[in-house]
Structure 1
Amino acid sequence: MELSGYIKASPDLDAVFSALADPTRRAILSRLAGGEASVNEIAAPFRISQPAVSRHLKVLERAGLIERGVDEQRRPAKLNAANLAAAVEWLNDFKAYWGASFDQLDDVLLTMKQSKDGRTDHD
């Protein structure tokens, strides 16, 4: 039941970015982008223990980046891209800043190139 006047809470971006800060967790998300997997399947390419992978999965689950199901004896994990999309949306707010910075850099580089080319022509 959806309550009138209430807005769905946005994801905890601190938890999302904290989860993404670890390269193992980013690799796990990349693996899960290809489909759901069990802890054993996720742990296979890593040189860490299965309990360590389980701890990474708990961090990802708390950040809302994955969901865990129950399938007989295993608990497959699958990507939940909604909170990841919220992080991307937040980063996109800075796209105009980055674009302006790159435009300024282009102007400086062009000026430097023209100065260099101008000196070469006069020599």
Structure 2
Amino acid sequence: MSQAALILILTVGGGSGALCRYLLGLAVMKKFPTPRIPIAMIIVNIIGSFGLGILYGNVYTETLYNDALFVFLGLGFFGAFTTFSTFSVEAVQLIMDNKYQHALIYLSLSIFGSIIGFLLGYFIS
């Protein structure tokens, strides 16, 4: 597959992932409008890590970055669906607001939840 085709596949996957992250975030925020911790990003990152674990467990090869499915879903969709930058902003905001306990809960749930989500996805695949 050509490099141009992989870039197009990556772009479509990334756009789809970003849109799904946004829509899921809106749905979670509608259900929980004033959470103590940023629950929407925790949910997004755990679901995304779980999905990536399933994908990785099913398509792992030495040439992942040339595999169209992995480029679309792994790098594109799940890369844009999950968000380390928003996680960082929300963690820092909790700390700046002196909500240290909430920050610790948010950091712990986000990091360990995402790793556990990935491992669960990987092992069930």
Larger Rg: 1
Q: Which has the higher helix share?
A: 2
Q: Which has the higher strand share?
A: 1
For normalisation by structure 2, the TM-score amounts to 0.26
For normalisation by structure 1, the TM-score amounts to 0.27
Higher relative contact order (CA 8 A, sep 6+): 2
